[in-house]
Amino acid sequence: MAGRGRGSDQGEDAAIGVSERSLFAPLPAPLPPPSPLVPAPGKAPLQADVGASVPVAETGRIVRVRRQIGRISLPRLRHSVATAAGLELDRGVAFLLVPVCLAIGAIGYFSLTAEPDFAKPVAVVALAALCALVSRSWPKTHLCFMAALLCALGLLAAKVETWRAGTQMLGSEISTQVTGRVVSIDQMESGRIRLTIDVTSTARPKLRYMPERVRLSARKIPADMTAGSLIIGYAKLLPPTGPVRPESYDFSFDSYFAGIGGSGFFLGNPKLVVTDDGDMPLSARLSSSVENAREAIADHIRASIGGAEGEIAAALIVGVRAGIPDEINEAMRRTGIYHIISISGLHMALVAGTIMGLLRGAFALFPDFSARRPVKKYAAAAALFSIAAYLIISGVVVAAERSFIMLAVMLIAVLFDRAALTMRNLAISAIAVIVVSPHEVVGPSFQMSFAATAALVGAYAGWSDHRAGKTRPPPPKRSLPGFLTRKFLLAAGGLAMTSIIAGGATALFAIWHFQRVSPLSLFANLAIMPIVSLVVMPFAVLSALAMPFGADGPFLYVMGKGLTAMIAMSGWISERSPVDGVGLISQQSVLLVAIALVIATMATTWLRLVALPFALAGLLTVSDTRTPDVLISEDARLVALPIGGGEFAVSRARPNEFTVDNWKRALTSETIVVPEVFTQGDAQFEIADAPELPPGSPFYCTSGVCLAKHTSGAIIAYVEDRKDTWKACGFAGLIVINDATAYDACHNPLVLVITKRQLARKGSAAVFFDRQSATTPATVSFAVDRPYRPWHEQRKFSREARGLPPFKRPEKPVVKPQLSQ
């Protein structure tokens, strides 16, 4: 019995170690017919060969190269491609392309200029399915129609998700009394508390189009308020904002699919409403219980560790990261280690690995039991349960979903004695995420997470194939210091290659979404990841296991010390990191690199070389985009332009910090130059002096008009009141009016006038000047296209979009006392 148990355990190890590529060996291919350009062996050379004499000085290597080139012909190339493609299909590449086709369909849906009705995608799916069914006798045609069907299914899944979300978005800012049930409570770094609330009613005024869920901040909340509590308070509600500039992250898109119909803040402190918890639906009670447990654990961790280390520990264990100080967040972003905060594959793998290691070590203490029982399966089942609990308690995000599904498939494979095919695990997790949440495909989390994982899995598989074809002598005997040194160098080299591969795969996606890179990320990861992998996460798992018994104090203490070292090292490296803003890149470069990544990671034959031209084309077109000359916020309150020397002129003395940071990275500027204000009649500057300003001048404000001069010589005017527009019509190339009732008062085709109403309807704007001709009018690009998609429908309901002035409460009439006679 003991021998059979050991054999079973070895069989499990053997099944898990099987490579998916070694399951399929390339079949010997028949030789193609000889090329007409190459003579057959034993025959006389062709006439062309007789006349071409080989120089005596030519080496044998050149002769061999010429012979190889001479053998390349179209029939041979077609035969080689067909053979390689057939081998790829035998190895299961068709299944790996399923999530790629689904993602293409989802991206196609979100890229449409108008919202389609349900009949169109359903008809496309039905037509593609019919064609795929009819073409089963023609394999190549069948594959093409199956790819088209999967793309259509991805488009349909995105349409279904949009219909299912159906979020009611607030159209205009308004103050009203809100009554609702608390969904979650977040302690912000600023000291305020952010509440996510399911709205049950509004009053004073009662909203006819009430958002179902809002996110409001408060200075103070009742001490006994928890998730599930019913509260009431007077709040100012704001509609979801759009992109801060064209082609940037769309916050209203994210809010729509998150179910958040508005945001804002309480005008005062909210109060609890006494109610019977039995009125809550079962789903709400379950989610409230999970949220309260998360918050209780986070409070316990903060109290035990304290400071910024406690906030980061709470983020790693329960996914609550709103309280991490901004300077630490920025330091981790600049050093490229912010992925540590996001619960993803690293954390899931460390949790599963720690649980399996602890259990297998414990089982090893009982050799008789371990010999008779499949202890690896027991450990895998416990690890599966642990990561499922970790997923729930840490909050369900895309990276955590993907990591959980991948690890779950691997652990289930262990339970059923199957080979854990890693690239297939990634495909399965991608399919699950796309089917459940297609909108994640266009977001940075999905793209960067799957790009890094695919690159790592593909690189590991390629390295395994390379090593499998070589015979290696047995390692020489080493002393203990030599053994430890070798292991340390191998670990450091593996970590460095992991950082290089993952960083290279996600670099363009990070630049596209955030306009920043981390120049010292390799050194930061080499220095910090060992602390995270060997100290922080293992002791986090141990503290979570000991927490129900009240014995987590020592483990949290060690975890906190590891986080202290991590914060100190990231801050030190961040201070020495160069500027990470890299500006804008072209969209086609990102698409080309994404195609190259798909080919390089999924192909297993020489067809992976096809990725090289796509990657090269993507890198060559990175700078094939034009930087805007002027950026305008969607509320018309902020105008900015680069003025040279790394300086960035803005039209307000206190601009929105988040917007300005995004614009600075997009325009590769470092320093903000605030406007200089002159009183009316000041001799130092008058509006008539604007044409004489030197190119690259910041904003000068006087008489209700702010003027700046771009480096191209174009003059930009910012006007608060439409009545002052005429003052800049004679010399300005661009006039921005912060007045919803304004119109084009210049009536000059050479002057571009942008009003608050236009920005309210179309979102933020980017303006481009023609630097070759001063007589060519400027062009403008807005962030939001019309007709509106469902996540932008609310824009047309604001007062500004309707051309109305700001709301003012009517003044109460003054009642004069009557004189007594």
Q: If you average pLDDT over every residue of the chain, what do you get?
A: 84
CB 622 within 8 A of CB 648: no
**Residue 717 shares a structural domain with residue 667:** yes
Residues 320 and 228 in one domain: no
Q: How far apart are CA 32 and CA 79, in angstroms?
A: 7
Task: Assign 203 to helix, strand or coil.
Answer: strand
| Domain limits for position 127 | 97-165
Structure tokens given for 20: 């998916």
Measured CA to CA, the distance from residue 258 to residue 531 in angstroms comes to: 34
In a domain, 50, yes or no: no
Count of domains observed in the chain: 5
| pTM of the full structure | 0.83
Q: 791 in a domain, yes or no?
A: yes
How far is the C-alpha of 377 from the C-alpha of 615, rounded, in Å? 42
User: Of 148, 165, 182, which residue is a domain's last?
Assistant: 165
Asked if residue 685 has pLDDT above 80, the reply is: no
pLDDT classification of 456: cutoffs 50, 70, 90: confident
Percent of the chain with pLDDT over 70: 87
Q: Please answer whether residues 669 and 648 qualify as being in contact, where contact means their C-beta atoms are separated by less than 8 angstroms.
A: yes
Per-residue pLDDT at 143 exceeds 60: yes
Q: Is residue 819 part of a domain?
A: no
- Which tokens go with 629? 């000359």
Residues 306, 403 within the same domain: yes
Q: What pLDDT digit, counting tens, does each position of 16-37 carry? A: 344 444 444 444 444 445 444 4
Please report how many Cα atoms fall inside a 13 Å half-sphere around the Cα of residue 161, on the Cβ side: 25
Indicate the residue among 140, 165, 190 that finishes a domain.
165
Task: Report yes or no: 182 and 227 within 8 Å, Cβ to Cβ.
Answer: yes
Q: For position 237, which CATH number holds?
A: 2.40.50.140
Distance CA 117, CA 97 (A): 27
Q: Are residues 510 and 602 in the same domain?
A: no
Given a cut of 90, whether residue 771 has pLDDT beyond it is no
701 and 780 part of one domain: yes
* Model pLDDT, residue 810: 67
Q: What is the mean pLDDT of residues 506-513?
A: 88
What percent of the chain has pLDDT above 90? Answer: 35
- Whether the per-residue pLDDT at 511 is higher than 80: the answer is yes
Q: What is the DSSP string of 10-46?
A: HHHHHHHT--TTTTSPPPPPPPPPPPTTSPPTTSPPP
Average pLDDT over residues 98-125: 94
Which of 541, 575, 609 terminates a domain? The answer is 575
Q: Which residue has the higher pLDDT, 729 or 1?
A: 729
- Of 344, 349, 352, residue with least CA distance to 398: 344
Q: Do 704 and 643 fall into the same domain?
A: yes
Q: For the segment 46-87, what is each residue's pLDDT rounded down to a tens digit?
A: 444 444 444 444 455 555 545 555 566 788 888 888 888 888
The pLDDT score that the predictor gives to residue 182 is 92
Q: What is the pLDDT of residue 53?
A: 45
| Highest mean predicted confidence (pLDDT) among 56-65, 314-323, 417-426, 658-667 | 658-667
The answer to the question of residue 91 being in a domain is no
Helix (H) or strand (E) holding 381: helix 375-393
312, 273: one domain: no
Given this model, what pLDDT does residue 355 score? Answer: 87
Output the pLDDT for position 582: 82
Instruction: Grade residue 88 by pLDDT with cuts at 50, 70 and 90.
Output: confident
Q: Do the domain assignments include residue 339?
A: yes
Whether 401 and 391 have beta carbons less than 8 Å apart is answered as yes
For residues 385 and 524, membership in a common domain is answered with: yes
Length of the chain: 821
- The answer on 272 and 159 residing in a single domain is no
Top mean pLDDT of 313-327, 498-512, 547-561 is at 547-561
519 pLDDT more than 80: yes
CA distances from 128 to 134, 144, 785 (A): 10, 10, 30
| Six-digit token string for 77 | 């190339």
Distance CA 44, CA 28 (A): 29
AA identity, residue 357: G
84-97: average pLDDT: 88
Q: Are residues 351 and 270 in the same domain?
A: no
**Rg (the chain; Cα; Å):** 32
Same domain, 265 and 307: no
Query: Which pLDDT value is given to residue 484?
Result: 78
Question: Mean pLDDT throughout 39-45?
Answer: 45
Measured over the CA atoms of residue 172, residue 178, residue 179 and residue 185, the dihedral's sign is: positive
Instruction: Please indicate, yes or no, whether residues 240 and 183 belong to a single structural domain of this protein.
Output: yes
Does residue 679 lie within any of the structural domains? Answer: yes
Instruction: Give mean pLDDT, residues 564-568.
Output: 94
Is 460 inside any structural domain? yes
- pLDDT, one tens digit per residue, over 790-807 is 999 999 998 899 988 887
Q: Residue 183: is its pLDDT beyond 50? A: yes
